[in-house]
Structure 1
């Protein structure tokens, strides 16, 4: 990656025109072929940019001022006039492993598979990713009475999730070896509309405390 801190003017020409008057900015030239122009405030988004792949042609005009012409794949251009360069450096960042989100559905599923009784007393795990003709049920469990319980897990419980579990239950209850199968809709947060729909369809709702499942939230340390 190349980082240039400079007093510059930027003009875009393409489907429309845009102008950034002379000011101090940061210009990023990334190895993926993109060019981004940032200011020191206002937003995390660039003020202007060129998506990859693009070509950067660098030249010096008759006044000794450096000019960049960045050409995009559709022929649009970003002309950057660098009146004064404060810093120009190159950095090798290497391969990025990507963002690893905490608390996503996969992690919730793993934790709830280890602690099914946190959803309902006496609940035990039969299988994760229980297969059906329309997709796998997150958890298939049995309650204390030995009856089948299908669990659908979401980070945020919305109506679509309730509809998904409803379809699973309709299919599972056709199997004489499983029926009757009831459902539990589990999420870190359940929207009021989703809760109303689930209750109307006889589906139990369970709000999951992710930190407590991970053992981070120690009740003995709480003030209330």
Structure 2
């Protein structure tokens, strides 16, 4: 990636025309061929840009960026304050934290979050319409089906309801209770779950990871 801070003006020539008057800006030339013009405001969105594939030609203090449609971004540089290039390599991509898969693994590892004396039967317990996230046994030995969501909404309660209907047909499991677990449970979902005899459990992701010790809190 090339980063250039320069006092420049920018003209877009294409289906429409646009002009940015002379001012200090950040110019980004990415390895994929894209060119972006940023100001010091406007958050992440560039003032103007040219998406790849495009061709950059530099001559006499002027950049001409042309895309495959023939549209051009003409950048006139009056004063270059900084010009550097950096090899970033292949980006591994965004890894989301706290997604349902992570919550399922953590709850299985800390099944006591459901209560003292609970034990894990298995994760992804199969049913005819798909696997329920966790099947556990309570201290009395009764089966408990747990459906896990990052955000608990009505659809999740309906999904757990369907699982419970199937699981309760199995004489080796019945009766099976349901627990709807999520980091956040919407009021409507909680009301529907309680109406159907399903327990709601709010999961503290950081606490299950051991990053939040309630004993260290002042209040």
Distance 2:54 2:161 in 1: 48
The aligned counterpart of 2:82 is 87
Aligned with 2:172 (options 162, 177, 184): 177
| Cα offsets for 1:101-154 (capped at 9, x unmatched) | 332222221211011121234321111122233332211111222222111112
**How far, CA to CA, are the matches of 1:17 and 1:179 in structure 2?**
70
3-state SS of 1:215 partner: coil
Stretches of structure 2 that go unaligned for 5 or more consecutive residues are none
SS at match of 2:169: coil
Structure 1 residue corresponding to 2:184, chosen from 189, 203, 210: 189
- 1:200-215 mapped onto 2 (5 Å cutoff): 200-215=195-210
- Residue in structure 1 matched with residue 91 of structure 2 by the alignment: 96
Which residue of the partner structure matches residue 10 of structure 1? 10
1:15–1:202: structure 2 CA closer, same or farther, 3 Å change rule? farther
5 Å matches for 1:1-150? 1-60=1-60, 66-150=61-145
Aligned length: 219
SS of 1:154 mapped into structure 2: strand
Question: How far off is 1:31 after superposition?
Answer: 1.0
What's the C-alpha RMSD, in Å, of the aligned pairs?
2.1
| TM-score using structure 2 length | 0.88
Change (3 A) 1:164 1:4: same
- 3-state SS of 2:174 partner: coil
Q: 1:188 offset after TM fit, Å?
A: 1.3
Q: 1:81 to 1:210 in 2, by over 3 A?
A: same
Paired residue for 1:223? 218
Secondary structure at 2:21 match in 1? strand
Distance in 2, Cα, partners of 1:127 & 1:152: 13
Shift of 1:3: 0.9
